Each structure stands twice: as C-alpha cells, then as structure tokens.
Structure 1
Amino acid sequence: MIEHLLPAAVRTRAAYGDELDRVPLHPEEEPAVARAVPKRRAEHAAGRACAREALAALGLPAGPIPRDNADRGAPVWPKGVVGSITHCEGYRAAAVARAADILALGIDAEPDGPLPDGVLDVIHSTPEERAALAELTAAKPEMHWGRLLFSAKETVYKAWYPYHHRMLGFEEAELLLAHDQSASGPARGTFTARVLVPGPLLADGVGPALFTGRWIAHAGLVATVIAIPAPSES
C-alpha cells in the first residue's frame, strides 16, 4: 500500500495480518505498552518491527524505537532520520528516510469502511471540507470519504508533530481531498491540508501551513501519506 505512494528516498516495511505481532520488543520500548491489552501490545510490537526493518533497508542500525513523553507518544527516531508508523486491523507499516532527503514524513492506514457514528462530525468542521466531501460522495458513493478524511488528518498530524511537539486538533487543519479519475486500478488521489495554527518554519523558507499528500484505497484498506522533500542546498 504505502510503498506505492512514497518517493524513492523513503524505505518502507509493511506486514499484513499478524505476521510480525509476536516479534519481541526492546526493553526501551516496553514502557509504552506496559499496561496495554494484548491486541494493542501486538500491534505496537509489529509496528516497531516494521520500523526496524525499514531502518535496516536504509542502511542504519535497527535499534529500539521508544516513545517520547508527550501525550500521544510519538516514535523517537535515530538522529538524522524522519519516520512514521501506522497500524490498523490486518495491517502494520512503517516508513523512514534520512532527514537530508525528506523533511517531514507521515503515514496512516485505516480499514476501508464507514466511520463510527458521530466521528465525522468531529473530524471536519469547515464549510469547504463539508462541501468537498459532499461532492466526492455524489461522484463516487462507493468510497468511504469520511474514513479517508480521518486518515489524511492523522497523517497531517504525524508529519506536523515533530516540529511542534503538541497536539493538533482535527479542527486545526482544513483538508481537501481530490480523486484521480484518470488512474487505472485502485482508487487513488491527492489531498491538501492547510494548518490553521501558527508554527515555526520546517526549514529555511519552508512554511508549516500547507501540506500535500497522496492516498490509495485497495484490498479493504485506505492509506494516506505525506513526504515533504528537504530543500536542496542550491
């Protein structure tokens, strides 16, 4: 899934089903799931296993990936690395890149099904989002656009968080989805997210307010990614 959406500088590893759920955690990773139920612990272990294999593919040591101490517990990557982890029912994946190549990276995957009742009211709030979602639903009603919107907003948060280290509410990013009608095979497209809160520059001349990403729906899953290339020295 995600490997079809990301640039060549990014290394990925994905696992379907419970392929990696029983891989042991490093001691430094244990505190994050010390009180977790077995299902959550297994997903966490598989996500970390995917991340270590992706790091190895990047030519880096496959060491522990602990969580930071913030509320959401984002992964702590080796120095000079950006990365992201996702897991949902039947799918776990990680993506990593050298910070010299990719400035910001976020991935998310979700089951391709309707959102639970009430969730859609929480994740979109602007008139533009509501109008765009209605148009997409009318044009392609078999797609679960609300679920895709949720996934894309999660991806925005994952790409945004390392530079701000605080929560980004669903209402703090306005996101517009686009469907690629010319694409053959699985449904796919792009999205644009405008962050509605101020923040520091990601790099010299690279602002934090606008993110663009890609999405795909295939085999019962939807996946979204953001990969912002690092500015070239020139």
Structure 2
Amino acid sequence: MLASLLPPEVAVEEVFGDPEDAVLLPGEEAVVARAVEKRRLEYTTTRHLARVALGRLGLPPVAILTGGNREPLWPAGIVGSMTHCRGYRAAAVARGGGGGGVGRVGDVGRVVGGGFVGPVTGIGIDAEPHGPLPQGVFDTIARPDEMPGLAALAAERPQVRWDRLVFSAKESVYKAWFPVARRWLGFGEASVEFVPAAEGMSGTFSARILQSGAPITRMTGRWTIESGLVLTAVTV
C-alpha cells in the first residue's frame, strides 16, 4: 500500500501485526527496556522492517537508535521514516543522494524500479486509523485558512475522514522536514491542501511551510485510504 505513495528510489516494508522473527539489536534494547509491551512491539517491528528495507539497498543490518527528538538515527547517507498504529507498522528508506536501488516484491513490502529522478533528502510516512480524531484535537492542528477547503471536501466526499487525513499529512510533513531543518515544526506552521483523485479514496496534497526562515517552504505528498487506514507520504 505505502509503496504506491513513494518514488521508486524508496525501499518500503510494511506489515500487519508483529512478526515473530523481529528482534532488537544491541543498543536498541536499552531504549525500550522500561517500555510497556505495546511500545516495545511497535519499536521492535518498525526497526525490523527498516533493516529489511535497508537490505534492499544493499546495506547490512544495523541498530537504529533514537535521537534527542525521538527521531530515528539512520546510517550515514541514508534517509528514512517509520510509522505504526494499531495492527500496522511500516518503514521507508532511501539513499540520501537519490541512489536508487532496484528491488523485488517481498513478503511484507516492495520496491519498484524505474522512473524517479533527483536526490532524496527527507522522507515522511504516517499511518492512522481511518476514524475521527479524539474530541478537540482537530481544533489544535488545523489552521483557519484550511477550513474552507476541508469543508468543501467533506461535503463532496463525506466517506473520507478529512480531520484524520489532515493530522496524518502534517505528521508526514514533520518527519520529512526534521532531518533537513533540524528543528521543530508545529501543526500550525504547515498549511495543507488536498486534491482527491477522480475515483477512489486517494489523491495528492501540498503543504506550505509557514515558519520564519524555513529551509523548505513547500512540500508535496500523496495519500490513500485502504484496509481501514489513512496513509500519507512525503518525499523531499
């Protein structure tokens, strides 16, 4: 599912559930030593998937530790992103110079060859359940300038949870932004606009970055709703 939202240079792995062969490497164990079981499983599986994806780029298994802002610390020359929600986990990685590995269909994900040109400097992916946001959350993440467009979309396609899609898109934007900017980006500092596909529950979106002195001022991404999930992805 997620691979369809990303360029071919990006290796993607995704899975429903937690594979029994997913294990932590030295260094990772300390990060979740005191975590509850749910958090431990999410952390273990996403890193397992990231290592499988890195293998598709020709890299050996490595520990993927966590930085001071809870960001994954990738091997030199690699950019990537991970996501998880109830019952679903995914990881996406690419060579930082747009290196472009050629992959094959795998058990839990795929890489597709051909097509994309240009360096990859940031990746953001996010998965959310396709349901309403908790009460009060939408008002804290949406900007006034986004409201008219979202209202029109909700009237046109009421089957889409646009509030959840806004949340997911901004999560993906932040994950792609942070490795480049190395600073926080609030929900209110990005304004997103969605364009649905002619058919189906998918489409594209654009994000304007409104932070003063931002090294990136605009991003584009893709979204889809499948298997009860909202999935968004951004590549810088």
| TM norm structure 2 | 0.87
Query: Which residue does the alignment assign to 2:134?
Result: 116
Query: Which residue does the alignment assign to 1:61?
Result: 60
Write the distance in 1 (CA, Å) between the matches of 2:221 and 2:77.
22
Amino acid at match of 2:37: P
Query: Which residue does the alignment assign to 1:77?
Result: 74
Pairs within 5 Å for 1:217-232: 217-228=225-236
Kindly state the Cα deviation for residue 200 of structure 1 after the two structures are TM-superposed.
5.7
Kindly state the Cα deviation for residue 31 of structure 1 after the two structures are TM-superposed.
2.9
Structure 2 residue matching 1:178: 3-state secondary structure: strand
Write the distance in 2 (CA, Å) between the matches of 1:105 and 1:55.
14
Kindly state the Cα deviation for residue 166 of structure 1 after the two structures are TM-superposed.
2.4
Kindly state the Cα deviation for residue 14 of structure 1 after the two structures are TM-superposed.
0.5
Kindly state the Cα deviation for residue 24 of structure 1 after the two structures are TM-superposed.
1.8
Question: Do the aligned partners of 2:15 and 2:90 also contact (CA within 8 Å) in 1?
Answer: yes
Query: Which residue does the alignment assign to 2:111?
Result: none
Write the distance in 1 (CA, Å) between the matches of 2:205 and 2:30.
35
Query: Which residue does the alignment assign to 1:197?
Result: 211
Between stretches 74-83 and 160-169, larger displacement belongs to 160-169
Structure 2 residue matching 1:163: 3-state secondary structure: helix
CA distance 1:199–1:26, change in 2 (3 Å): farther
Query: Which residue does the alignment assign to 1:178?
Result: 195
Write the distance in 2 (CA, Å) between the matches of 1:216 and 1:92.
16
Write the distance in 2 (CA, Å) between the matches of 1:104 and 1:69.
18
Unaligned runs of 5+ in 1: 202-207, 229-234
Amino acid at match of 1:65: I
Deviation readout 1:50-91 (Å, 9 max, x if unpaired): 100000011111211001123xx1000111111000000111
Amino acid at match of 2:92: A
Question: Do the aligned partners of 1:108 and 1:154 also contact (CA within 8 Å) in 2?
Answer: yes
- Structure 2 residue aligned with 1:90, among 69, 81, 87? 87
CA distance 1:146–1:200, change in 2 (3 Å): closer
Kindly state the Cα deviation for residue 25 of structure 1 after the two structures are TM-superposed.
1.0
Query: Is 1:11 aligned to residue 11 of structure 2?
Result: yes
Query: Which residue does the alignment assign to 1:47?
Result: 46
Deviation readout 1:95-126 (Å, 9 max, x if unpaired): 00011111221110111111111110111023
- Structure 1 residue aligned with 2:170, among 133, 139, 153? 153
Question: Do the aligned partners of 1:163 and 1:200 also contact (CA within 8 Å) in 2?
Answer: no
Kindly state the Cα deviation for residue 167 of structure 1 after the two structures are TM-superposed.
1.9
Query: Which residue does the alignment assign to 1:188?
Result: 202
Query: Which residue does the alignment assign to 2:219?
Result: 211
Question: Do the aligned partners of 1:46 and 1:92 also contact (CA within 8 Å) in 2?
Answer: yes
Question: Do the aligned partners of 1:198 and 1:209 also contact (CA within 8 Å) in 2?
Answer: no
Deviation readout 1:130-179 (Å, 9 max, x if unpaired): 11110110000011011011000000000000122222110111111111
Question: Do the aligned partners of 2:121 and 2:180 also contact (CA within 8 Å) in 1?
Answer: no
